[in-house]
Amino acid sequence: MRKILLIINIAINCLLFADPLFLLTDPKTHFSIELYTNKLQLSIFQPFFYSSVPIDLLIDQGDDSSILKGLISVESAFFIHAVSEKGAMGLTQMMPSTAYELGVLNAFNPFQALDGAKLYLNKLQERFGKIDYALSAYYEGPSKVSLYGPSEEGRKYSQKVIEESKKFKDNQVFIRDVFYLQPHISVGKELNDLSAGLNFVNSFLGIVDFQGGFDISAGEFSHYFFAYPRISHSLSLIFGEKNLELVAGISYTKLPNFGVELLLNSNYFDISIKFKLWQVIFSAGWSSEGLHLGVIK
């Protein structure tokens, strides 16, 4: 039993210092029990949705602006970090291959996502001549629509987008994002050996992600803050500090199933990988403190 708890603890620690996308794209409450050699830590990861900026500020107003808002409503409900089980990402739910074809490096960046979706819809409308066919092709692929015409699901999708576009045509709507707070409390071997702290995860419009936090005990105060500027939806750099020591690194994430991260400073290194199998996240890695393995459900 103790070995199982230790593995779960290691997995949670790996996830805490993993790319924030693992939490931002999975907005639900998580609980953890972490067992250390000298303490037990209880945590809750609580997401909070908030409205960011009006979508109209990001869309060039024109005949297709309401259609684009309808598409975003259907695809992601205006949530910046939406990810489907198949790996479609962002406000406009682009698959990685489609994003690559359209020159969208970061599908979580709303500026890039909206420009890419508008370009794609324009191409599809030029190809098929009808907005309902273009929307069906956006949903089920242009090759399929070109060969067989829109399917029943494709027609329902296009009709739903058009209905949503009428709803939002003259109404202002905000894009949505999420941040996490993680309060935690630790109990040492002695009952009076207590510590508590608070961690957070947030993002600035999917362009730069952040995580940080602090821990307070009777004799210590520790803290960290990392920024993850996104080169793409898969790759980000890492800059920050841990107890006033500079930390740098790089992170690669292939959502929703795989991630690898490297962290370095003058006294510390950590390289770890994570992958999801059967709805379970497995992690493994090596650091200056030794090997770590883990699993979390």
Q: Could you confirm whether 85 is annotated as catalytic?
A: no
Among 193, 168, 172, 187, CA closest to 73: 168
Q: Which residues lie closer than 8 Å to 202 by C-beta, 6 or more apart?
A: 20, 179, 180, 209, 210, 211
CB 201 within 8 A of CB 178: no
Among 235, 279, 233, 230, CA closest to 257: 279
| Catalytic-labelled residue, pool 75, 140, 190, 220 | 75
- Helix, strand, coil shares of the chain as percentages rounded to 5? 30, 40, 25
In angstroms, what is the C-alpha Rg of the chain?
A: 22
The CA distance from 257 to 238, in Å, is 21
For Cα atoms 235, 261, 203, give the angle at the middle one, nearest 5 degrees.
55
Known catalytic residues are: 75
